[in-house]
Amino acid sequence: MPASFDEIDIGQVVYLGDARVETIALNNFIEAFAPGWPTDRGAPDAMVYAIWAKMDASATMGWPQTKRLGVDALRWVRNPPAGENLRGRMTVMGKDPVGEGKGIIIAQHDLLDEAGRLVFSCLTRSVFSR
């Protein structure tokens, strides 16, 4: 990712990483947060969100992002089964400078399965330093 807001381009696609839906993690998540969810239905929506959130947090650690203002338009398309490898990407949809020291980036985030099919998507608004 570029070093500042001004170096980010609309349309830019950033790889966020990948994560496997581990069987033990799926079983533990269901037991703790989705009792009664059948494991053969794949990862529950809340677990898919958690996988994305962890991936996003890891990817953005060194970025000039100073604050996440919102996560909107959440969309779950499918529930990946245990063993499925998911990859994340972020596409910059818009940017708006706010004064001399910061700007807002609007981005779409997608989780894709091994076949490239959409699993989850959302829009984010974040403050980046200039």
Dihedral (CA of 71, 26, 42, 39) sign: negative
So what's the pLDDT on residue 99?
87
Each residue of 106-116: pLDDT tens digit? 999 999 999 99
From the CB of residue 50, how many other CB atoms can be counted at a distance below 10 Å?
16
Q: State yes or no: pLDDT of 2 exceeds 80.
A: no
pLDDT confidence band for 16 (50 / 70 / 90): very high
CB burial readout 83-106, b (16+ within 10 A) else e:
ebebbbbbebeebeeeeeebbbbb
The SS3 assignment for 57 reads: helix
CATH number for region 5-129: 3.10.129.10
Residue 68 has a pLDDT of 95
> In whole numbers, what is the pLDDT of the chain averaged over residues?
96
Provide the token pair at 29. Answer: 């998540």
pLDDT for 3 equals 77
